[in-house]
Amino acid sequence: MSRVFSDYVLQAKRILEDNWTGSSTKPAPSLYPHQWNWDSGFIAMGLSHYFPARAMKEIETLFAAQWENGMLPQIVFNERELGHYFPEPDFWQVERSPYAPRSVLTSGITMPPIHAVAVEEIYANARYPLKIMPFLKLMYPKLLSLHAFLFRERDPMDEGLVYIRHPWESGIDNSPSWDTILGQIHVDKTRLPAYMRKDLEHAVDASMRPTDDDYDRYVFLVELFKKNEYDEARIRQECPFLVQDPLFNSILCRSSESLVRIATILGEPADLPASWVEKTSAGIKNKLWDPARGIFNAYDLVAEKLIEIDTAAGFIPLYAGAATRDQAETLYERLNSSSFCALHQGNCFTIPNYDTQKDDFDRSNYWRGPVWININWMLAHGLRRYGYTLKADSLQKDLLQLPIRFGFHEYFDSFDGTGYGSDSFSWTAALFIDLVYRYYETPVSWKSSARVMAGLFSTDTILNNGDDMPQCDDEQIASEIMRAIRSLRDRFYDTGRGRVDYAGIKESAEYKKYRTLTNGLRKYDPSLLTGRKEKLSFWINLYNTIVVDAITTLGIERSVKEYPGFFRNFKFL
């Protein structure tokens, strides 16, 4: 692994170790003291690269709290930490449901079902996949049960789209998308049970959290669930918050894809999860697409209309492959605009959770403007899926530099990068680890501590092994390579559409000069680079150009998936 990243990976691993409770990982040291549903999925993906046993334990602990009807709860409470969070089991009273577990304390709602993706990643990243097979066999029926619950209980019109019934189920609690619905809920505060928020007791600025009025409505909805004994059919009849959310449904669709592959690995029939993929994908592209706004939006089942509020959730169908090619192109134009931080805009980090041009955009308030690592991690995958590699690279660079520069925070200022919310946040650490292992890991041993990066790919295809050497002093090689990279970018990168003209690159004088300069890396001493920012800028930009170099060399036409092991088959000396 590059020395540029190794110290930060160690720091990220320490965060996950410190947040480990013995059976699961809490999202943060004090603000979130229990196990959270989708947090555990992202955490397990990071753990899978270096600690598969713990990654499996993370998922197993969560699913040990699965309800008999298949629902996977939003929170699994740690009895040793009770009293430090609101709401806790005494408020949820899930024992009113005949399906709630009796030996585990949980909440009464769910969250985006990322877990099949996590299980697949644990298998895919394992050094010895056969040792993971018992885990796959254990988890597959539990994952099927979760998805079956969602389609059975939350898709009453059989559209392939499931609804959420509380903002907390979306994972993006105080998103502007929910303002209108929540604002229409009349709350008689004299009839609400007394409660005390705990989140503001952890040195968190109240202006960066949901308001008290938000919490009154959150509590109102939970009271409705309790009154109806968590019976989905009864809740559905009177709940004012029933929303088909593009983020939740896209994650469901992407996880169904993972279920298909897990079924294939296990030799099980994959027809059912395959049908879910097809149906949810069709529902997303046909019902949640807002052509007038060029984005996917949530659908309010009570009001029977799209919620015309544009947030980063509207881009997540890219992650599921649920957008048509035309939708993806329109979506990319919206994503790569000043509303969501365009390529090379220079004064922002990609991508903010909410349209920066809106009057109620708030760069520091929770889900109303900041950058979130998990959202952008999914978007980077989605952009690569559709071939928008430049924008994916831009997201990837920000996903790495934000924790490095500002700490492993819960979320980040979309303009100056300041970290907000809890520090030592588990999914920020886990997804940082995932990115470094996925794209920057190499088993090459360093010849000396000064040699910062000996190679960016892990086997023996060497790209800079030409005979021509640069006609410049050794200390100028790094600056000349950066200049050559800029020349390639200026001429062959279409930043408006996120595309690269690989055919043009291959025959160009700029590419020939770049290749000659990179030959000089064989004798270059990286200790000549001064300052952490200069080192990060050089190695990250070089890495991204090596990807372009490898694609150009191979003549890949559509996707790097055409070449198995692409990110492990090339390196520079």
Neighbours of 503 (CB within 10 A): 12
C-beta of residue 99 within 8 angstroms of C-beta of residue 84: no
Q: What are phi and psi of 69, to 5 degrees?
A: -85, 0
Q: Active-site residue 173, yes or no?
A: yes
Torsion of CA 9, 15, 19, 23, to 10 degrees: 20
Helix, strand, or coil (residue 526): helix
Cα separation, 309 vs 229, in Å, equals 32
Query: Going by C-beta distance under 8 Å and a sequence separation of 6 or more, which residues neighbour residue 47?
Result: 16, 25, 54, 55, 58, 430, 433
C-beta of residue 314 within 8 angstroms of C-beta of residue 382: no
With CA atoms as reference, report the closest residue to 360 among 166, 180, 167, 221.
Answer: 180
With CA atoms as reference, report the closest residue to 357 among 288, 398, 309.
Answer: 309
DSSP letters of 86-99?
SS-HHHH-GGGSTT
Q: What are the CA-CA distances from residue 493 to residues 215, 486, 489 (Å)?
A: 47, 10, 5
- Catalytic pick among 39, 310, 362, 410: 410
C-beta of residue 274 within 8 angstroms of C-beta of residue 261: no
Tokens describing residue 12: 């990220």
C-beta of residue 379 within 8 angstroms of C-beta of residue 312: yes
Buried b (16+ CB within 10 A) or exposed e, 234-251: ebbeebbbbbbbbbbbbb
DSSP 8-state symbol, 258: H
With CA atoms as reference, report the closest residue to 1 among 433, 532, 521.
Answer: 433
With CA atoms as reference, report the closest residue to 92 among 71, 112, 115, 63.
Answer: 71
Torsion of CA 488, 492, 496, 498, to 10 degrees: -90
Tokens describing residue 179: 């303002």
Cα separation, 380 vs 39, in Å, equals 18
DSSP 8-state symbol, 311: B
- Catalytic pick among 60, 81, 95, 173: 173
Query: Which residues belong to the active site?
Result: 173, 410
